[in-house]
Amino acid sequence: MINKKLFFAFCLSMIMAMGLLSFKLIKNDNSVKSHETVSAGLTLPEGFQAAIIADDLGSARHLVATPQGDIYIHLARAKNGKGILVFHVDGDKATLKSSFADFGGTGIAIKNGYLYASNSREVYRYKLDDKNEVINPDKPERIVKGLIDRRTHAPKAITLDNDGNLYVNIGAYTNICSEYDPNKTGCPILDSAGGIWQFKADKPDQTYKDGIRYAAGLRNVVGLAWNQQDNQLFVMQHGRDQLHNLFPNLYTVHQSTELPAECMFALKEGDNAGYPYVYYDWIQHKNMLGPEYGGDGKKLADPKYINPVAAYPGHYAPDGLLFYTGNQFPQKYKNGAFIAFHGSWNRAPEPQAGYCVVFQPFKDGKPDGNWEVFADGFAGTEEQKASGHAVHRPCGLAQGPDGSLYVTDDNKGTIYKITYKKQ
Amino acid sequence: MNIKLTGIFLASFILLFNALYAQNNKQPIRQTTTGTSIARGKVVYTNVCLPCHMADAGGVQNMNPPLIKTTYVLGNKTTLIKIVLRGFNEDVEINGQTYSNTMGAHDDLTDRQIADVLTYVRHSFGNKASTIKATEVAKVRAIYKK
């Protein structure tokens, strides 16, 4: 015997499911743009091509390219005792030159004749010769030590400015600080985490007391870059998780899927981006008071916290940021930002998303206009993407000497080289 | 994006679940068989654990571990109950992998809910292990009461 109410509700939801499905099919049809190319498994704008220049490297995180055509790739975990791989790239071919560094990690950068690389606690640097090759791979100089590492948001992404400073992300080792701030009197971990710290680029063995907290209230930053046009630090924050799970009365499953935004901030010394007290709602375009601190999805954040300069859908996980200064790509890309989105996990039970490289147009050193998906298809099939079991996950970005764009994948360890051919 | 449609879709699903729930409520509550425990545990799993451990319990690479035939899921009941009650944040390998996310405490769940969800997990996703009773959860909760 079937209960009538149950049967009715069942039918209704079936009809709705069918409706939704057919809409989705129509939408998918529409979204196949005529001027897109598929190359090395990636979907790119017309005129662009991708090549896989290396594969199966392990967890390839950030990378950096030299004018001589080499790339240094940092692996999350050292493989056979080597955490940094050096390839020479010639066209679409990359040849392994050497490997060194007994530590894995994410951060890697070149500045003023040194290669900088970080693990979860420290930053090292290696002197480079005039060909930008590491002179003494076994004897790096330790620049920063003793940074906090509590597994969650542990990678210390790095970048450098033009005035001899090194910037290090120190992620908050928690989702939203609730376990450390049960009485909501203020998140106590922000004195040593949840921000960007500035150190001297050339002083050995600095610790917290030698650096300054350059910007506070940033949950976790993996993609960060110095913008040469307006001489400013730009960072991509990973927004908080679990709005619905923690506050089912305030946020629906769908809201929790799309919110909060993944944010791009342009930072000045002393800025506070408001974590864990605030989050940014990219649908309402407003900075909101977080529910842990009295917010209800409508109350606004204290205006003393800075607003993002651009915002992206929830949980996309921005892991790489690069300002494009090359001449190979069409003019519109010049000085704009590429963002590598690692892809979501916190959108379940709705389909996972992200897993793409986005282009954000810039004008005069500020985001200008809508972002667009530049390279997609890393995840594999729609099913692999929706389930979160993506095949490739974009992480690091670098610009080659000829203006090509390199993208790392930290799942399979694939390195892509994206080029543009004039029509 | 089809927010409106999704809304209607969700609403009708809620209707469906309500109806199901009403259906469930008709059964005498004290008769906890493994079957009813598993059914209730699935609801807890979907609401509480799924966002991290995923619908197929496959977890998220480098972030959240799977709940498929791990030593914790199949192993000692006290340890397993403690993980749910007190959360889990240790630098350990789970079937050869490490996971960077932190699992919070779920002591707001009742003894029955924890027993149900663990029974569900231990009987699903290819796992085969004994049921966990609410009284067993209560005992572990008493040990770790602050």
Give DSSP secondary structure letters for B87-131. -B-----BTTB---S-BPP-TTS-HHHHHHHHHHHHTSTT-----
C-alpha–C-alpha distance, residues A252 and B35, integer Å: 30
The distance from CA B51 to its chain's CA centroid, rounded to whole angstroms, is 11
Per-residue tokens: A394 = 């974009």
Predicted local confidence at residue A318, as pLDDT? 98
Q: Apex CA A316: angle with CA A314 and CA A317, to 5°?
A: 115
As a whole number, mean pLDDT of residues A326-340 equals 97
Q: A-B interface: how many C-beta pairs under 8 angstroms? A: 93
Contact B102 A10 (CB under 8 A): no
The DSSP element (H or E) to which B146 belongs, if any, is: none
pLDDT digits 0-9 by tens, A69-100: 999 999 999 999 999 999 999 999 999 999 99
Restricting to A residues 220-259, those with a Cβ less than 8 Å away from any Cβ of B are 241-242, 245, 248, 252-254
Check if CATH label 2.120.10.30 holds for domain A48-420.
Answer: yes
As a whole number, mean pLDDT of residues A377-387 equals 94
Which residues does chain A have within 8 Å of residue B22's beta carbon, measured at their own beta carbons? Answer: 3, 5
Residues of chain B with pLDDT under 70: 1-31, 146
Predicted local confidence at residue B22, as pLDDT? 45
**pTM for the whole thing?**
0.87
3-state helix, strand, coil in chain B (%, to 5): 55, 5, 40
**Among the listed ranges A45-49, A338-342, B24-28, which one has the minimum average pLDDT value?**
B24-28
Query: Is the predicted pLDDT of residue A265 greater than 50, yes or no?
Result: yes
CATH class of B31-143: mainly alpha
Which residues does chain A have within 8 Å of residue B8's beta carbon, measured at their own beta carbons? Answer: 16
Global ipTM: 0.77
Predicted local confidence at residue A1, as pLDDT? 40
Q: Which residue has the higher pLDDT, A403 or B4?
A: A403
Domain ranges of chain B: 1-30, 31-143
Query: Across chain A, what does the average pLDDT equal?
Result: 92
Q: Which among B12, B51, B101 is the nearest to A12, CB-wise?
A: B12
Min CA distance, A151 vs chain B (Å)? 5
Written as one letter, the residue type at B72 is Y
Contact A387 B16 (CB under 8 A): no
Contact B23 A174 (CB under 8 A): no
C-alpha–C-alpha distance, residues A111 and A164, integer Å: 9
pLDDT digits 0-9 by tens, A386-400: 988 999 999 999 999
Instruction: Give the end-to-end CA distance of chain A in Å, rounded to a whole number.
Output: 68
Query: In a 10 Å sphere around its CB, with 0-12 CB exposed, 13-18 middle and 19+ buried, how is residue A136 labelled?
Result: exposed
Query: Is the predicted pLDDT of residue A274 greater than 50, yes or no?
Result: yes
The distance from CA B146 to its chain's CA centroid, rounded to whole angstroms, is 23
pLDDT digits 0-9 by tens, A6-36: 555 554 455 444 444 444 333 333 344 446 7
Predicted local confidence at residue B7, as pLDDT? 56
